[in-house]
């Protein structure tokens, strides 16, 4: 068995779920950085720390604030760390998907002009959160069922 630089055995390519988690995490990091780039973020002068008063919009569509961008960066960093293990990748994708579905519901439950909209969220954010939630949940639950489960896969005929 070949050894990697850390002295551990390498078993070949990473499972697809780890790759998917790393890609999703990298996209969140990219979005977090782009939220601080004038031009990519329109009305950059209107960027506030938090709250619905922020006029800045990532790609001219998604309302952002410093807090919103920082959350994207932190979520992306957490995803990269978690993607190093199969279980962590599953948790990042499936758990993150559930969290984004919750955020989608939260976005529809609050008034956009209220203090409860502290991140801030607009309609475009809400619909993106719905897509992200279902997409991440699907990736976390459907990819790589045979990696990291500790047992063999069964077939329907094997089930009681």
Rounded (to 5) percent helix, strand, coil in the chain: 55, 5, 40
Please give the share of the chain, as a percent, with pLDDT higher than 90.
Answer: 54
30-78 per-position pLDDT tens digit: 999 999 999 999 998 888 888 778 888 899 899 898 998 999 999 999 9
Residues β-bridged to residue 38: 41
* pLDDT > 70: percent of the chain: 82
**Phi, psi at residue 9, to the nearest 5°?**
-70, 140
């Amino acid at each position: 068995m070949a050894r990697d630089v850390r002295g551990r055995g390498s078993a070949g390519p990473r499972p697809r779920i780890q790759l998917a988690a790393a890609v999703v995490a990298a996209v969140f990091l990219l979005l977090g950085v782009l939220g601080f780039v004038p031009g990519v973020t329109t009305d950059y002068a209107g960027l506030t720390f938090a709250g619905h008063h922020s006029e800045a919009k990532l790609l001219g569509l998604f309302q952002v604030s410093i807090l919103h961008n920082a959350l994207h960066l932190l979520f992306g960093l957490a995803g990269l760390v978690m993607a190093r293990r199969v279980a962590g990748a599953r948790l990042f994708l499936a758990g993150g998907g559930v969290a984004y579905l919750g955020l989608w519901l939260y976005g529809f439950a609050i008034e956009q002009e209220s203090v409860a909209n502290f991140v801030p969220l607009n309609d475009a954010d809400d619909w993106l959160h719905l897509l992200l939630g279902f997409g991440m949940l699907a990736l976390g639950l459907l990819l790589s069922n045979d990696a990291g489960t500790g047992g063999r896969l069964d077939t329907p005929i094997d089930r009681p």
